[in-house]
């Protein structure tokens, strides 16, 4: 809940990050929040438009906002939580575990609290974090190809039903990765409280009903791993032990000749 997020942000080791675009931040941000725009940790590498930056880039970007691996990272965006979720997945890929996002983003917080925003910049002492990739968080294209017939792996396509079926085409080819099941990421939102998510047990029941088995290794993807990053956070919050994100997603798969697809 927003109130709990605010309380956590006051912890001595909390690192509060505003991942909105600069023009939105210019109108005001939460006191103490440092700017880390979405574009700084998502790198378009055509055909993959939601690529993961390399370690040198992440060291520079995260060091500039004073990141240290042991701190409690709290991230928020304007509302849909996809940008904040993508940051949490990126940090998880670096082995970070102490982190959370603001469910519903700044819009939910402003609807439910009287928190005042500020335009004052937070002073930052830059760091030079020692970063390395963790195992089991990232699914590269070749890894996905190698596990297409693996009964232990479940591909979860979080795009719309139209994208999944190939009617809504956003790449050279439409359709989905063979064997993937479809659960639109937006089904996680509570219709009466959007952009807040549904209660945790509702989410659990919904995922199980869709066939998302916690005993299997789950690989989530969408078009650029923005929507599916939110699903990744939901799955981890529910205790799913093995969840990867495919950052190349459909922008890479659908634009790469020779890769198999299903309509």
pLDDT score for 122: 84
3-state SS of 36-67 is CCHHHCCEEECCEEEECCCHHHHHHHHHHCCC
DSSP assignment letter at 147:
T
Tell me the pLDDT tens digit for each residue of 84-103: 999 999 999 999 999 999 99
Tell me the pLDDT tens digit for each residue of 171-213: 999 999 999 999 999 999 999 999 999 999 999 999 999 999 9
CATH of 141-253, one of 2.60.120.260, 3.40.250.10, 3.40.710.10, 3.40.50.300: 3.40.250.10
Listed in order, the ranges of the chain carrying CATH 3.40.250.10 are 2-112, 141-253
Closest alpha carbon to 89 in 148, 32, 34, 133 = 133
- Between 2-9 and 105-112, two packed helices, what is the crossing angle to 10 degrees? 100
Asked if residue 8 has pLDDT above 90, the reply is yes
Asked if residue 170 has pLDDT above 90, the reply is yes
Threshold 0.85, pTM exceeds: yes
Would you name the residues annotated as active-site residues?
A: 222
The CATH superfamily of 2-112 is Rhodanese-like domain (3.40.250.10)
Pair of tokens at residue 115: 């928190």
């Amino acid at each position: 809940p927003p109130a709990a997020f605010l309380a956590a942000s006051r912890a001595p080791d909390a690192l509060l990050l505003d991942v909105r675009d600069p023009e939105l931040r210019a109108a005001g941000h939460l006191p103490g929040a440092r700017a880390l725009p979405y574009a700084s940790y998502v790198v378009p590498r055509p055909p993959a438009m939601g690529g993961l930056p390399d370690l040198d880039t992440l060291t520079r970007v995260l060091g500039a906002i004073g990141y240290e691996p042991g701190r409690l990272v709290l991230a928020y965006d304007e509302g849909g939580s996809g940008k904040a979720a993508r940051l949490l997945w990126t940090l998880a890929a670096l082995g970070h575990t102490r982190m959370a996002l603001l469910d519903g983003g700044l819009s939910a917080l402003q609807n439910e609290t009287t928190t005042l925003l500020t335009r004052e910049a937070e002073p930052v002492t830059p760091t030079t974090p020692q970063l390395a990739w963790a195992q089991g968080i990232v699914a590269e294209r070749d890894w996905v190809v190698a596990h297409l017939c693996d009964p232990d792996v479940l591909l979860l396509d979080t795009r719309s039903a139209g994208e999944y079926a190939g009617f809504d085409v956003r790449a050279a080819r439409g359709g989905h990765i063979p064997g993937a099941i479809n659960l639109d990421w937006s089904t996680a939102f509570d219709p009466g409280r959007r952009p807040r998510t549904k209660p945790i047990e509702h989410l659990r029941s919904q995922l199980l009903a869709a066939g998302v088995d916690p005993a299997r290794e789950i690989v989530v993807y969408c078009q650029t791993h923005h929507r599916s990053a939110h699903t990744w956070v939901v799955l981890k919050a529910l205790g799913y032990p093995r969840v990867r994100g495919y950052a190349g997603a459909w922008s890479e798969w659908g634009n790469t000749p020779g890769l198999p697809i299903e309509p």
